[in-house]
C-alpha cells in the first residue's frame, strides 16, 4: 500500500539523492513471501547502498553510510551531482 507514497516522496526530493536500504525486509522482503509484499525496496526506488541484517547492527549502518560517502567522493555519482 505504501509503494506509491514512497515513490512520490522519492520523486519530490531534490537532487542529489541517495537511498540506503536498511535491513533484510527492505532489501529482499525478509522471511516473508506474500502476494501483498514487494520483495525489496529496489523495485520501487533505486538503491545505492544495502545494509544487511535483521535487524541491522548500528555498526553496519555507519559502515554503509561511510561506504556510500566514499563512492560519492570517488565520483561514481558524478552525474547526480552535476544535475543538482
The CATH number of whichever domain residue 22 belongs to comes to 3.40.50.12280
The pLDDT tens digits for 11-54 are: 999 988 999 999 888 887 777 777 777 788 888 999 999 999 88
Q: Do 38 and 3 touch, CB atoms closer than 8 A?
A: yes
Q: What phi, psi does 51 have (nearest 5°)?
A: -110, 110
The pTM for the full model equals 0.80
Domain residues for the domain of 35 are 3-7+15-83
In terms of Cα–Cα distance, which of 3, 38, 1, 41 is closest to 19? 41
Predicted local confidence at residue 84, as pLDDT: 62
* Rounded Cα gap, residues 34 and 9, in angstroms: 25
Lowest mean pLDDT among 15-19, 27-31, 56-60, 61-65: 27-31
Predicted local confidence at residue 25, as pLDDT: 80
Q: How many domains does the chain have?
A: 1
Predicted local confidence at residue 1, as pLDDT: 74
Amino acid at each position: 500500500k505504501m509503494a506509491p507514497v514512497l515513490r512520490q516522496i522519492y520523486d519530490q526530493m531534490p537532487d542529489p539523492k541517495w537511498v540506503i536500504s536498511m535491513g533484510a525486509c527492505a532489501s529482499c522482503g525478509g522471511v516473508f513471501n506474500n502476494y501483498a509484499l514487494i520483495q525489496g525496496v529496489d523495485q520501487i526506488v533505486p538503491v545505492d547502498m544495502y545494509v544487511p541484517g535483521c535487524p541491522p547492527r548500528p555498526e553496519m549502518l555507519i559502515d554503509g553510510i561511510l561506504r556510500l560517502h566514499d563512492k560519492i567522493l570517488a565520483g561514481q555519482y558524478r552525474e547526480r551531482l552535476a544535475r543538482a
